[in-house]
Structure 1
Amino acid sequence: MDLGIAGKSALVFGASRGIGQGIAQALAAEGVNVFLVARNAEALASNAAQLSREFGVQVEWLAMDVYAQPVAHLLAQLTQQNWDIDILVNISGGPQIGSASDSDAEQYQSQFQGMVGFFIEISRQLAQPMAARKWGRILTVGSSGVCQPIKDLAISNTLRSALIAWNKTFSDEVAASGITVNTLLPGRIQTERVNEIDQARAARTGVSQAQIVAQSTATIPARRYGSVTEFSATAAFLCSQGAAYITGSCIRVDGGLIRSTY
């Protein structure tokens, strides 16, 4: 299926591993030039070389920490390298694990910029040239925890919900300019982050990681964890020409995990 986005340019966060890496690959496979951002320079360089070699697209990367460095730093790099971004994929790292009772206000505040503030500002800034071109895609990777709060991920549940509320509000303001703003909600996807969460739960409860995985799998109607490839295929479609009438939405890729009907 030709998604009609060959020659477009995408900025993908979290692109050193997992879902971010997978989405960058799915877009590159459609002929999209990709600018990769994450903290791990070595992984970014390796991923960039692989994407360029395999798909023949333009690939650049920048190692930066969105918790510590401002949006202006990234925008300056994009301008210097003559990148006009058509597709923005917002992905933040997961915060520390902890219950609502054990997480104080300062912990939420310390995570806000890197999980919410940075992505609000980069979306605002890049939407302006997208609007001038009458075409743009802004896609945020959230969490199933915004619909069905996940035990011991209080900070993630709370802050990701805040960003999704902003996305919905913003989507109304830019829709007439040809820009879509959507959020993808992953269920249990096989990534290093999910593996880390399973390990932490096993250590905390005194059972094996295999038991934790079995317990989690039993709550998923599909009876398995999803793959990064499956998740990334959905992301690529939401960035496509064919998804132009989908905006302000939260789309689940969860194997039926989330129990609510909307």
Structure 2
Amino acid sequence: MSKLWQARFFTTVNHLRDLPRTTVPEIAFAGRSNAGKSTAINILCNQKGLAFASKTPGRTQHINFFSIGGAHVAMHRKDATNVDEIRCLLADLPGYGYAEVSGDAKLHWQRLLGDYVQRRDQLAALVLIMDSRRPFTDLDIQMLEWFAPTGKPIHCILTKVDKLNRNESVNTLRQAQARLDSYVDEDGEGFPFTVQLFSALKRVGIEEATAKIEELMGLNDDAAAAAVGAINADDSDDNADAPADTQPPTA
């Protein structure tokens, strides 16, 4: 079972001063309004109403945090989350790019998101949600270029791929990867940018996205440690059962 299924609402903030005082890794989800961000979060976390899409796209100007660990979805919503047991946080950033949002709201969004993605030490990676039919809008590129100088990974999820035919899907993915590969640092090294296709409707790319996000959050470390422990245990058993003449000679 995916660890993302443990996601539970933690808190919502509208100012940087109210950000969680935790030290665990955070993975932020960003994207244009109507790109399918809330739907992607809900299907990856296997919960219908975890992330809410506003009836008026672009009106939600808060960062919503969901915890992984410290609680489980079967708990009552009023039961407190055990903060000491939280493994990581998912940050659902406000959708951007909706024309009817006021100038003041847009300015607030730019300050909140710009400061968060550039300065938040706990932010381990960004998941950028883009409509596969209209990827890399000006605001998507702005988000990429805000975050790129941190040197942290960005994983791009191209949603609604069910609206494309096979050839269009292949070309879209190839062009997106080429565009991401064009970003290099001062030494000419590429940034840790990855991309995939996704469809909530056709359930395309869910396992790939889940594996990547769990990797970025470090949630695979326990499994790796357990595997190493099992190998070491097997080695110890083998040595214990080894014939006497295979042991190092004694003086």
Q: TM range, normalised to the smaller chain?
A: 0.3 to 0.5
More helix by share: 1
TM-score normalized with structure 2 length: 0.39
